[in-house]
């Protein structure tokens, strides 16, 4: 099957031109002017942007956490992603207490077999325990399975937090295996003390979630992780950077030439700590970690994206229904499952408030949402760009399409939307994953299972296009 995407305004992280894209099967085979009159299908993209399918490197599908399980499985979560223009996501395979690393990977592969994805999927290995289940030899073997990043949590004491020994030993393994280490950087010990003290004083409402996780706890852990990674000699990626206190050590490390990268997430650019005070327990919707911050941090985050201090915007899609899951913490904020939804709306929000409002160029928008995540996580050049030989993961983006973001119309199983009622202009008209149209005219036209598991390359290595495709 050949498809021609005709006359679109093609934008990658570096290109900006009007042209045609010819696709054979799953792959882009030619880019130019007046191509392929004989294609099986011609898609008229005149007047529309044509951008790479977006890559979301931070999601939590069907993940046991906080006494419950995130409410999107791989089918519902990836359907939601597809409607927003995301065609690949990388999910955290979370080692359960006492579980071996190989068994954890089997568990996550079973999840995508039981609830098959609509878009392509890869995994990070989230190591929670090296003492019982997790042997360092097993950690070293993980990249052989195409899982080329290790994640460690420096918070969530008593649950999935690791100590500095575990963190540092994993970093030493990563230095040898070519894996990228990712950290959730907060000082979990200090936070645990602050949470206990707040509860002892009868402070139980959602707003205490932010008050007990002040920005300095994120800044301290970020600096510590950066120094340990430098000592161990591994590359480091700091997830969900939320505040100036954490931006500073990332900026300093990068200025010094250290192999440090950071992401922020959509919600930190738009939602501030006052939302936790919404009445009738509505504040629980914003209980994610790190918490929403004082509003001045939003400008610091935009600046960090603009200047390359932060490299990626992800979603940290970790959905818990408000009605019955967030409700677990009605009488105690520390029991509210931590996490928020967002996989569907990242491009909507960044295009409207980033590109349309002049904070980002179209190239930078593509770089942050598609190209940098693909490069940092061993998916490039198969994913994250529009090039001959790359997978035909493509979004025809209508920059004039109005949309109101809402739980009533989104495609996740979650019962609220962090950006409820926000009116944006700009949305996908058509979404394609490996040459298959998966969303068109606001309808899902693919079936679960159209997405595949993608084995990623090691840090800094290219994921080569499939054999038999000549790159020009």
Question: For ligand URP, which residue of 339, 341, 426, 428 counts as binding (CB under 6 A)?
Answer: 339
- From the list Zn ion, ligand URP, none, pick the one residue 339 interacts with, judged by a Cβ distance below 5 to 8 Å according to partner type: ligand URP
Question: For Zn ion, which residue of 89, 151, 184, 275 counts as binding (CB under 5 A)?
Answer: 184
Contact string (CB under 6 A) for ligand URP, positions 44-83, x = contact = ----------------x-----------------------
Q: Are strands 180-184 and 236-238 parallel, antiparallel or unpaired?
A: parallel
* Least distance from ligand URP to the Cβ atom of residue 334, Å: 13
If the CB atoms of residues 212 and 289 are measured against ligand URP, the closer one turns out to be 289
First to last CA, the chain: 21
User: Are 199 and 168 contacting, i.e. CB atoms less than 8 angstroms apart?
Assistant: no
* Least distance from Zn ion to the Cβ atom of residue 424, Å: 24
Quick count: other Cβ atoms within 10 Å of Cβ 449? 13
Give the 3-state DSSP-derived string for the chain, with helices as H, strands as E and coil as C.
Answer: CEEEEEEEEEECCCCEEEEEEEEECCEEEEEECCCCCCCCEEEECCCCEEEECEEEEEECCCCEECCEECCCCHHHHHHHHHHCCEEEEEEEEECCCCCCHHHHHHHHHHHHHHCCCCCEEEEEEECCCCCCCCCHHHHHHHHHHCCCEEEEECCCCCCCECCHHHHHHHHHHHHHHCCEEEEECCCHHHHHHHHHHHHHCCCCCCHHHHHCCCHHHHHHHHHHHHHHHHHHCCCEEECCCCCHHHHHHHHHHHHCCCCEEEEEEHHHHHCEHHHHHCCCCHHHHHCCCCCCECCHHHHHHHHHHHCCCCCEEECCECCCCCCCCHHHHCCCHHHCCCCECCCCCHHHHHHHHHHHCCCCCHHHHHHHHHHHHHHHCCCCECCCCCCCCCECCEEEEEEEEEEECCCCCCCCCCCCCCCCCCEEEEEEEEEEECCEEEEECCEECCCCCCCCECCCCCCCCCECCCCCCCCC
Contact string (CB under 6 A) for ligand URP, positions 203-242, x = contact = ----------------------------------------
Quote the distance between the C-alpha of residue 307 and its chain's center: 20
Contact between 344 and ligand URP by CB under 6 A: the answer reads no
* Least distance from ligand URP to the Cβ atom of residue 322, Å: 14
* Least distance from ligand URP to the Cβ atom of residue 64, Å: 11
Residue 231's contacts (CB-CB under 8 Å, 6 or more residues apart) are 168, 171
If the CB atoms of residues 123 and 288 are measured against ligand URP, the closer one turns out to be 288
* Least distance from Zn ion to the Cβ atom of residue 289, Å: 6
If the CB atoms of residues 99 and 338 are measured against ligand URP, the closer one turns out to be 338
Inter-CA distances, 227 with 41, 48, 170, 230, 231, Å: 53, 45, 14, 5, 6
The stretch near Zn ion (CB under 5 A) out of 273-281, 295-303, 313-321, 404-412 is 313-321
Q: Residues binding ligand URP: what is the number (CB under 6 A)?
A: 8
User: Are 284 and 263 contacting, i.e. CB atoms less than 8 angstroms apart?
Assistant: no
The stretch near Zn ion (CB under 5 A) out of 137-145, 184-192, 201-209, 430-438 is 184-192
If the CB atoms of residues 315 and 452 are measured against ligand URP, the closer one turns out to be 315
* Least distance from Zn ion to the Cβ atom of residue 337, Å: 12
* Least distance from ligand URP to the Cβ atom of residue 281, Å: 17
If the CB atoms of residues 314 and 390 are measured against Zn ion, the closer one turns out to be 314
Contact between 398 and ligand URP by CB under 6 A: the answer reads no
* Least distance from ligand URP to the Cβ atom of residue 126, Å: 9
If the CB atoms of residues 311 and 390 are measured against Zn ion, the closer one turns out to be 311
If the CB atoms of residues 75 and 289 are measured against ligand URP, the closer one turns out to be 289
* Least distance from ligand URP to the Cβ atom of residue 168, Å: 20
If the CB atoms of residues 46 and 158 are measured against Zn ion, the closer one turns out to be 158
Residue number with the shortest CB distance to Zn ion? 184
If the CB atoms of residues 314 and 417 are measured against Zn ion, the closer one turns out to be 314
Contact between 338 and ligand URP by CB under 6 A: the answer reads yes
Contact between 318 and ligand URP by CB under 6 A: the answer reads yes
Question: For ligand URP, which residue of 212, 289, 372, 450 counts as binding (CB under 6 A)?
Answer: 289
List the interface residues with ligand URP, window 171-190 (CB under 6 A).
Answer: 184
Contact between 288 and ligand URP by CB under 6 A: the answer reads yes
Give the binding site for ligand URP (CB under 6 A).
Answer: 60, 184, 288-289, 316, 318, 338-339
Give the binding site for Zn ion (CB under 5 A).
Answer: 184, 316
């Amino acid at each position: 099957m050949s498809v021609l995407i005709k006359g679109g305004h093609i934008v990658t992280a570096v290109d900006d031109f009007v042209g045609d894209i010819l696709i054979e099967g799953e792959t882009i085979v030619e880019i130019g002017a007046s191509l392929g009159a004989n294609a099986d299908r011609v898609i008229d993209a005149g007047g529309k942007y044509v951008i790479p399918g977006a890559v979301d490197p931070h999601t939590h599908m069907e993940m046991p956490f906080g006494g419950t399980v995130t409410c999107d499985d791989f089918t519902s979560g990836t359907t939601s992603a597809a409607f927003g223009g995301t065609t690949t996501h990388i999910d955290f395979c979370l080692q359960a207490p006492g579980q071996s690393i190989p068994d954890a990977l089997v568990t996550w592969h079973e999840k995508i077999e039981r609830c098959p994805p609509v878009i392509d999927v890869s995994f990070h290995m989230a190591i929670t325990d090296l003492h019982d289940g997790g042997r360092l030899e097993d950690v070293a073997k993980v990249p052989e399975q195409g899982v080329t990043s290790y994640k460690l949590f420096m918070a969530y004491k008593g649950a999935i937090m690791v100590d500095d020994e575990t963190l540092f030993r994993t970093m030493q393994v990563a230095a040898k295996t070519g894996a990228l280490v990712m950290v959730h950087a907060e000082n979990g010990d200090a936070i645990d003390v602050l949470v206990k003290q707040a509860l002892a004083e009868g402070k139980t409402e959602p707003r205490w979630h932010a008050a007990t996780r002040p920005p300095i706890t994120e800044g301290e852990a970020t600096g510590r992780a950066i120094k340990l990674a430098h000592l161990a000699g591994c590359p480091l990626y700091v997830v969900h950077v939320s505040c100036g206190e954490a931006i500073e050590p990332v900026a300093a490390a990068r200025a010094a030439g250290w192999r440090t990268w950071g992401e922020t997430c959509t919600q930190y650019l738009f939602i501030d700590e006052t939302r936790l005070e919404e009445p009738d327990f509505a504040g629980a919707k914003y209980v994610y970690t790190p918490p929403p911050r004082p509003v001045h941090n939003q400008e610091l985050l935009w600046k960090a994206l603009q200047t390359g201090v932060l490299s990626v915007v992800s979603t940290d899609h970790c959905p818990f229904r408000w009605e019955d899951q967030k409700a677990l913490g009605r009488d105690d904020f520390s029991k509210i499952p931590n996490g928020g939804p967002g996989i569907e709306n990242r491009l909507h929000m960044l295009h409207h408030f980033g590109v349309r409002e002049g904070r980002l160029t179209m190239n930078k928008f593509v770089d942050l949402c598609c190209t940098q995540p693909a490069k940092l996580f061993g998916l490039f050049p198969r994913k994250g760009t529009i090039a001959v030989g790359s997978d035909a993961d493509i979004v025809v983006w209508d920059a004039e399409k109005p949309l109101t973001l809402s739980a009533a119309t989104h495609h996740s199983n979650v019962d609220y939307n962090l950006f409820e009622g926000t009116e944006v202009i700009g949305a996908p008209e058509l979404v394609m994953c490996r040459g298959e149209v998966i969303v068109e005219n606001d309808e899902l036209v693919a079936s679960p299972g159209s997405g595949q598991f993608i084995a990623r390359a090691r840090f800094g290595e290219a994921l080569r296009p499939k054999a038999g495709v000549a790159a020009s």
